[in-house]
């Protein structure tokens, strides 16, 4: 009997403990379910927004990759143009150097011509003096010749 009583007491205690778990009051669980449903809806919306943002970013990346490919394709042409411009610049520099050398030679020629012009002016002046003297001598000789005749 003691054993039955202990068993009955143990069963009673377990039943009392289980009575709280089996009760019909689920208001806390309903509130939790509603909160979880709200969170689930919000998370689903956030995922959709993120998916849209990812799609937009992927489209932007594709456009940028296309731009990069186009720019990379134009690099060889631009390098050729650069090389052609460098060659043209080198030719232009060589032409400029030749032009400067020619200008220097022309300046030397002009300076020599100025010297020659000065010498010729002096010579012309001397010749004019000589002509004037010869004219005076000729007039003198004519006067003497006319006086002698």
Confidence (pLDDT) at 39:
94
CA distances from 9 to 15, 19, 22, 109 (A): 10, 15, 20, 138
**Domains of the chain: total:** 1
Q: Kindly state whether residue 3 falls inside one of the protein's structural domains.
A: no
Q: Kindly state whether residue 21 falls inside one of the protein's structural domains.
A: no
Confidence (pLDDT) at 7:
75
Separation of alpha carbons 51 and 58, rounded Å: 10
Domain range holding 143?
A: 38-148
Separation of alpha carbons 19 and 7, rounded Å: 18
Confidence (pLDDT) at 29:
86
Q: Extract the residue ranges of the chain whose pLDDT is less than 50.
A: none
Confidence (pLDDT) at 134:
97
Confidence (pLDDT) at 47:
94
Confidence (pLDDT) at 15:
66
The Cβ-side half-sphere exposure at 123, using a 13 Å CA radius, reads 6
């Amino acid at each position: 009997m003691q054993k039955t009583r202990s068993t009955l007491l143990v069963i009673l205690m377990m039943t009392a403990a289980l009575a709280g778990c089996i009760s019909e009051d689920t208001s806390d669980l309903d509130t939790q379910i509603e909160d979880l449903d709200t969170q689930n809806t919000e998370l689903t919306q956030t995922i959709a927004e993120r998916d849209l943002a990812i799609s937009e970013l992927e489209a932007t990346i594709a456009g940028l990759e296309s731009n990069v490919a186009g720019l990379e394709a134009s690099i060889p042409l631009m390098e050729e143009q650069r090389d052609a411009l460098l060659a043209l610049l080198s030719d232009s520099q060589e032409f400029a150097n030749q032009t400067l050398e020619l200008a220097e030679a022309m300046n030397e020629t002009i300076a020599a011509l100025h010297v020659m012009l000065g010498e010729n002016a002096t010579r012309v002046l001397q010749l004019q003096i000589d002509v004037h003297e010869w004219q005076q001598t000729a007039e003198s000789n004519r006067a003497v010749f006319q006086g002698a005749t």
